[in-house]
Amino acid sequence: MTTTIEKDAALSVVNLSKTYRNGRVALKSISFNVRQGDFYALLGRNGAGKSTTIGITCSLVNKSSGKVYVFGVDTDEDFGLAKSYIGLVPQEINFNQFESPWNIVINQAGYYGVRRSEAVEQAEKYLSFLGLWDHRNAMSRSLSGGMKRRLMIARALMHDPKLLILDEPTAGIDFETRLFLWEFMQVLNKQGITIILTTHYLHEAEQLCRNIGVIELGELILDTDMKTLLRQLNQETYVLDLVKPIHTLPHGLNETARLNDETTLEIDVSRGNSINSIFEQLTKSGIHASGIRNKSNRLESLFIELLKIEAKSYSDGDRKWIGWNSVQSHYTPWPERKLRDSCESGVRH
């Protein structure tokens, strides 16, 4: 698959391939563009090729073939300039944990030739904004997991990159910190910074990103905008919290609705149908809802279905596939997975 290089692209990946020395093929001629100012989700299960793509873009991994352009700059011809446009937040904590946050960000600015006076201003701005100012002189190993993640982001921003690549930035942090980072990423994007996000929290991708690419077994199997993708969802399930308890379903809703308990109603709405008609039926029956929510993340439903279809397209003879059950397990929402695993092992949490 060949992709035309777009003039306004922040990142253009063209026929990118990677085969490791042991013969493992990590990327199979993938191509895609990320436009300037975009918020782009790069999704895929573990081992799909996301981190390899990022590693090649940032010179951490040598490619086998293909081209990478960063704001029109060929990384083979002038990687120094291309790299100056990129800020990377990798999966793993990789700063010196015996240094202070202040020294870490100041030294990072120095690597990119940022003047000391400018580096000090940048450090003050980002350490303050990310809630690290009071800890600027502490040993970094003493910081919490969420603080270390925020320090990684501050470090990546010290040279004012035009492209910020975030490789699972909210993994393993608490919900409050995750929401804070969502807001911070949206602020950066509104300021004109192009963001590429990899995440296993599919709700996160749906909330933040405008375009999406999905890599599976080294191949780009999807590259589209989020709105177009979500319109492909055939059915959505809504959960209604009822004002008063009910014991039976209204006539006409038996096939699309079900009671979880006396005050919780689930309703399936097919694509093209309006939920307003269902509310009209409920209102006529004297049933009122105090709240409504999606039962599951829409992108998660589509993503699982996409991988399920992709799994069926592989024959056992020519490609190694871990199996649909393993994929389904990997992307099961965490609370549900923990409860299921606990029940299977006989351990109660």
Return the pLDDT at 52: 94
Q: Is residue 2 part of a domain?
A: no
Are 108 and 212 members of one domain?
A: yes
More confident call, 140 vs 250 = 140
Alpha-carbon distance 114 to 124, whole Å? 14
Residue 200 lies in a domain: yes
Asked whether the predicted pLDDT for residue 278 surpasses 50, the reply is yes
Q: What is the pLDDT of residue 100?
A: 97
- Edge-to-edge, what's the strand order for the sheet holding 264-270? 257-261, 264-270, 235-242, 289-294
What does the pLDDT read at residue 322? Answer: 39
For residue 161, is pLDDT > 90? yes
- Predicted pLDDT of residue 67: 95
The pLDDT of residue 129 is 93
| The predicted structure's pLDDT at residue 326 | 40
Closest CA to 8 of 94, 100, 72: 72
Any domain includes 4: no
Task: Give mean pLDDT, residues 113-118.
Answer: 96
CA separation for the pair 59, 79 (Å, rounded): 8
Confidence of residue 271 (pLDDT cuts 50, 70, 90): low
| CATH value at residue 32 | 3.40.50.300
Check pLDDT > 50 for residue 190.
yes
pLDDT in the model for residue 251: 75
User: Does some domain include residue 1?
Assistant: no
Q: What pLDDT is stored for residue 206 in this prediction?
A: 82
Rounded average pLDDT over 211-220: 90
User: Looking at the domain assignment, is residue 324 inside a domain?
Assistant: yes
Q: Which DSSP string corresponds to 78-110? A: -HHHHHHTEEEE-SS--S-TTS-HHHHHHHHHH
- Distance (Å, whole) CA 305 – CA 179: 27
Whether 201 has a pLDDT exceeding 60, the answer reads yes
- The reported pLDDT for the residue numbered 336 is 41
For residues 142 and 168, what is the distance between their CA atoms, to the nearest angstrom? 22
- Domain match, 69 and 129 both: yes
Domain that holds residue 253: 233-294
Domain check: are 177 and 271 in the same one? no
pTM assigned to the model: 0.73
Kindly state whether residues 283 and 241 are assigned to the same domain. Answer: yes
- SS (HEC) of 12-66: EEEEEEEECCCCCEEEEEEEEEEECCCEEEEECCCCCCHHHHHHHHCCCCCCCEE
- Over the range 150-187, which residues count as b (16 or more CB within 10 Å of their CB) and which as e? bbbbbbbbbbebbbbbbbbbbeebeeebbebbeebbee
Percent of the chain at pLDDT > 90 equals 51
pLDDT of residue 341: 43
The dihedral formed by the CA atoms of 49, 50, 54 and 56, expressed in degrees to the nearest 10: 10
Q: Lowest mean pLDDT: which of 167-171, 267-271, 285-289?
A: 267-271
Q: Pick the residue with more confidence: 294 or 169? A: 169
> Is pLDDT of 254 > 60?
yes
Place of tokens 């965490």: 334
Range with lowest mean pLDDT among 70-84, 170-184, 225-239, 243-257: 225-239
Q: Are residues 269 and 312 in the same domain?
A: no
Q: Looking at the structure, tell me whether residues 309 and 287 fall in a common domain.
A: no
pLDDT at 305: 65
The number of distinct structural domains making up the chain is 3
When the pLDDT of each residue in the chain is averaged and rounded to a whole number, the result is: 82
| Average pLDDT score over residue span 275-285 | 80
Same domain for 175 and 108: yes
Residues 134 and 276 in one domain: no
